[in-house]
Amino acid sequence: MDPVPFENELTFETHRQNDTVEEFHQSYEDAVTDVRATLGKSHPLWVDGGPVDADEQFTVTSPGDFDVTIGEFAAGTPDDVDRAVRAAAAAFDEWRHTAVEERVEIFRDAVEELRERKFELAATVSLENGKNRTESIADVDEAIDFLRFYSRELERHDGYEFDTGEPTPGQHCRNLLRPYGVFGVIAPFNFPIAILAGMTTGAVITGNTAVVKPASATPLIAHKFVEILTDAGLPDGVINLVTGGGSTVGQPLVEHEDVAGIVFTGSREVGLSIERAFQDLGKRGPVIAELGGKNSVIVTTAADIQEAVSGVAMGAFSFSGQKCSATSRVYVHEDVFDQFLSRLVEKTESLGIGPAEAEETVVSPVIDDRALERYADICEQAASEGTIHTGGDVVDASDLPDGRYVEPTVVSDVPHDHALAREEHFLPFVTVHPVTDLAEAIDKANDSDYGLCAGLFSEDESEIETWFDRIDSGMCYVNRAQSATTGALVQAQPFGGWKFSGTTGKFAGGYWYLPQFMREQSRTHVRGARE
Ligand code: NDP
């Protein structure tokens, strides 16, 4: 398939190229002030085009400042899920018969609104999940890209319906993809608009209807996205938002008999439990799941060490390592190991730790108390079974607000097969391991249940070719100093994982994403001349 060029929404990069970075910062800071002034409200569920109150609510506070209440959100129940699924099921027939052009137009109108409210949305992400300004704006940019790209692809493929001719006289054939029905959309906290918008758009633009369950930590940005789609003209019931917990909303949604398919991004544990539930219940629809990672980087003797250090530090520690793509284990040739490690420690100690809204912040707060507990636990293990070169503690600084700040942590002297180097921690924590050659490094990189992202630093073309050929990973990056393993642009860098990092082998933001939300139908109509 010939790729058709696609222009990504690159807000910060565009400001940099236009020499208007100051304007970018001002717009973001004004938006933070404005959004702060609107926080703390109550947010009902959104079902069948209207608000629905729940008996109970849960409170979300900012991970970077516990004094900031993001809002009170309806705690959905299995009954609320049922009501939302019924609304989505009722809306399905009309929506699936809505012309492709009409569906696409709604999503394109939503893009205009997302652009209009870009800084407000980025500020909301920062306050709600603690992501810094450039990454929050990139989160919104990616959401915009998903809407634009999927609109374009659906249109470019004429709604995935085409004439397959008349193979024998009188047999007129067509081939088409048709939506399944109601999709459950279950999203993670860490890309709370990009991933939620991408998954929702994939499900809905293809003619399905949806019940969306955002992560409990990030319901506000989900409300804003649903509001934008509703204002753009999405009919009542086509998208429904049920906030609440994994077991009280997520699981009943998965198990509901009228939910035909699930699109999920989150941990391996929950993703696999959803697959199992579908199997146990005899459901035949798709579970499109993007899961965790344990992303390796290899540094050879032919690497530019400074670039490798920069790539690993950013890959491991930006947004406090709370990315499925975060760099978490590094295999360094023994001849350059000491040099790499000492420079990585120096670079790590120079990174800004602080609230998302502060301009210099790279290492932002972690999302919840469970993350703090995991951090304490793995640092204790690393101290007793390996060597912590920097980090290992929560940050105790009087100039920081009362939030969840931890030090980025660099560890060595743990074996490659140690749990610290095998399990996903989703924290600013990286292990560094010496290797004797590229072959050993690749073997160790591949010796993982996961296969999401991988990086290599080498200037040697034959090493690069060998690595591309042998690495078991969906996303592969060579010499990426801006970040060794994180960051992907819609269309140019479709995003997804192999092995236990995903269930479908098809990637978000890529050419094969949309067809997953539909099933094929082959139509033969015998008319005219007979065989
Ligand atoms: P979780 O798996 O904890 O949660 C993801 C979503 O599932 C949340 O909405 C959660 O609700 C919900 N959920 C929890 N339990 C259930 C259940 N039993 N049934 C149905 N839904 C449930 O992931 P996180 O939000 O903590 O996100 C981090 C994880 O996501 C990491 O493993 C990361 O690697 C992965 N991820 C993968 C990406 C990829 O593209 N491969 C991209 C981004 C993240 P609640 O919040 O209420 O618990």
pLDDT in tens, 416-466: 999 999 999 999 999 999 999 999 999 999 999 999 999 999 999 999 999
Atom 8 (ligand 1): residue with closest C-alpha? 215
Single pTM value for the model: 0.98
Q: Compute, in angstroms, the gap from residue 250 CA to the centroid of ligand 1.
A: 10
Q: Does 265 sit in the ligand 1 pocket, CB within 6 Å?
A: yes
Distances (CA, A) of 32 to 37, 62, 263, 405: 9, 13, 31, 20
| Whether 349 is catalytic | no
pLDDT tens digits, 474-531: 999 999 999 999 999 999 999 999 999 999 999 999 999 999 999 999 999 999 866 5
Q: Does 493 sit in the ligand 1 pocket, CB within 6 Å?
A: no
pLDDT tens digits, 14-62: 999 999 999 999 999 999 999 999 999 999 999 999 999 999 999 999 9
Q: Does 327 sit in the ligand 1 pocket, CB within 6 Å?
A: no
Q: Which of 9, 120, 153, 324 is catalytic?
A: 324
Question: Cα separation of 322 and 301, whole Å?
Answer: 29
| Whether 290 is catalytic | yes
Ligand 1 pocket: which of 80, 241, 265, 453 to mutate (most atoms within 8 A of CB): 265
pLDDT tens digits, 69-108: 999 999 999 999 999 999 999 999 999 999 999 999 999 9
pLDDT tens digits, 146-204: 999 999 999 999 999 999 999 999 999 999 999 999 999 999 999 999 999 999 999 99
Q: Which of 135, 153, 290, 424 is catalytic?
A: 290
CA 4-9-12 angle, 5° bins? 140
Look at residue 40 and give its three-state secondary structure: coil
Atom 35 (ligand 1): residue with closest C-alpha? 266
Give start and end residues of each alpha helix (H) in 245-388.
Answer: 251-255, 268-280, 305-317, 337-349, 369-385
Q: Does 245 sit in the ligand 1 pocket, CB within 6 Å?
A: yes
Containing 454, the helix (H) or strand (E) segment is strand 453-457
66 backbone dihedrals φ, ψ, rounded to 5°: -65, -15
